[in-house]
Chains A and B, each alone.
Chain A
Amino acid sequence: MALKFPIFMDAQSTTPCDPRVVEAMLPYFTEKFGHPASRNHPFGWEAEAAVDVARGRLAKLIGARDPKELVFTSGGTEAINLALKGVAEMYREKGNHIVTTVIEQRAGIDVCKRLERQGFEVTYVPVQPDGLIDVDEIRKAITDKTILISVMFANNEIGTIQDMAAIGKLAKEKGIIFHTDATQALGKTPIDVEAMGIDLLSCTAHLVYGPKGVGALYVRRKGPRVRLAPLFDGGGHERGMRSGTLPVPLCVGFGRAAEIAQESMAAENARITKMRDRLQDMILSSVDEAFLNGRPDRRLAGNLNISFAYVEGESVLMGLNKETALSSGSACTSSTLEPSYVIAALGASAELAHSSIRFSLHRFNTDEEVEYVGQRTIEVIKRLRDMSPLYELAKEGVDLKTIKWKAE
């Protein structure tokens, strides 16, 4: 099969809508345009029924007992904001302490920073070099004021999947609410909120071949019943937790995406893992001093994150970006101009954070694309190393740590 350019291997930033998802959504833009809160005519009933089907499919995918436990939001960021701020405000009387981790995505970190400014105390549990959070570190961080534990399910950069069941068990034992950011995990790895003791779960449609602009928050109703202060006031939709007219076509698309994910997860993960492993083997067998980030056996199927010593990430992407879409932990590719705090938190040097490249594969990638991207990556790394003063020094046997660098 002929390759079609550019090749997309940045599926942890977003995914294309599955055509089956688009097909399911289309009628809800035009003839089935009703408002799901219109209780007194067929347009409203039709819309409400469609949203409930979507809610049910989503509930099934995460093992929720009751579809009513799912609240639609505008996406993962809003779900995380609603979970953390909603708990903080609702349970403030009970305590002011939150336990989270240093590897949460920006939304998680930034909400916690804001809560700190408002008088909450937040403990950011460190990560181990393999990308896993030590559950004992969470246990040690808990105080009698702790009202919430928030740990991401799977990491957006290194794909590491945390031990949800162990954290959930700890939370139950201590009577603390447990939130997880499952934006990267949904539809990619089995989720069971009951077995894993998850009380709140944030997710988004666009990372699972659904549309952009819709996400959801799972809010446990029983054992314990979790209550949340809403982010904004209005018509009291979504059980009073999220006012605003539901974007019915997007909800329908999210539901269809969840359904497809559930049906195809096992076979799809097997296929994607095989491609990912091939890409990994190709690169690591021909490039020296290339380091795999994150624990290999506890990773999302499509994730491959490698630090290439002595070359800077943006320059690697620049060598590939006409034909291949990847991402990097380099400062030059981030809006904050800081290198990846996730790679840095693994204990790697800042240089290796600047040098990290994330390949994230998806449903529509092919074996031919993997071969091409692997070969081109190897070529670009070799070319850049030939013009790297650090590689030259290292080859001369100079220990780069012994040089007194004059930072700007």
Chain B
Amino acid sequence: MAYSDKVVDHYNNPRNVGSFGKDTPGVGTGLVGAPECGDVMKLQIKVNLETGVIEDAKFKTFGCGSAIASSSLATEWLKGKTVDEAAKIKNTDIVNELKLPPVKIHCSVLAEDAIKAALADYKEKNASAATPVASK
């Protein structure tokens, strides 16, 4: 199968690979997928507790090139968005941007799941702090 140029670019130059400390204030972590299915994504956001804006995002992915590219792209898109805006990222946006073929759509679904899981984890850990800021 031939890969799109964007998938190849993200695979060769993945953006934002790495990890934040899970217990750092403002950090939300999502870990989705399963090793036996061949893909696991860990996606983390670091939210400015004052503004509710995602200041940084990082990922690590076990999976095919399209899974790596989907999570790399997701971290790029997350940076600078508010928590509410981030929740609106859809897997179809990722499919369109990376021109993923039908057999790779599950990679984009997993990336959306990872975003949602990271947001949920952040909200859970910052229930008191985040709510007023986010609704501002």
Q: What total of chain A residues lie within 8 Å of the partner, measured CB to CB?
A: 29
For the complex, count residues of B whose C-beta is within 8 A of A: 31
Structural contact, A331 and B19, CB atoms closer than 8 A? no
Listed from nearest, the 3 A-B pairs whose CB atoms lie closest are: A405-B34, A350-B36, A389-B42
Q: Write the B61-103 contact mask toward A (1 if CB under 8 angstroms, else 0).
A: 1111101100000000000000000000000000000000001
**Is B37's CB under 8 angstroms from A407's CB?**
yes
Q: Which A residues from 173 to 231 make CB contacts under 8 A with B?
A: none
Q: Are the C-beta atoms of B65 and A407 separated by less than 8 Å?
A: no
Q: Give Cα A390 to B40, complex, Å.
A: 8
* Set of chain A residues within 8 Å of B32, measured between Cβ atoms: 406
Contact A354 B38 (CB under 8 A): yes
Contact between chains at A388 and B36 (CB < 8 Å):
no
Report which residue of A311, A319, A400, A405 has the largest number of chain B beta carbons within 10 angstroms of its beta carbon.
A405
Residues on the B chain within 8 Å of A407, using CB? 33-34, 36-37
- Which residues 258-313 of A have a CB within 8 angstroms of B? 310-312
Partner of A389, one of B11, B14, B40, B103: B40
Q: Which residue of B lies closest to A401 (CB)?
A: B35
15 more contacts with CB within 8 A, not counting A331-B38, A351-B35, A408-B109, are: A315-B64, A315-B68, A318-B3, A318-B64, A330-B64, A332-B38, A350-B38, A354-B35, A354-B36, A389-B40, A392-B60, A405-B33, A405-B36, A406-B34, A408-B110
Contacts from A to B (Cβ < 8 Å): 310-312, 314-315, 318-319, 330-332, 337, 339, 349-351, 354, 386-392, 400, 403, 405-408
Closest chain A CB from B38 CB (angstroms): 4
A349–B36 contact, CB under 8 A? yes
What's the Cα separation between A275 and B40 when bound, in Å? 35
User: A332 vs B7: C-alpha distance in the bound complex, in angstroms?
Assistant: 15
Contacts of A330 in B (CB 8 A): 38, 64
Shortest Cβ distance from A397 into chain B, in angstroms? 15
Contact status B19-A392, CB under 8 Å: yes
The interface residues of chain B lying within 8 Å CB-to-CB of A332 are 38, 64, 103
B82 to chain A, nearest CB (A): 26
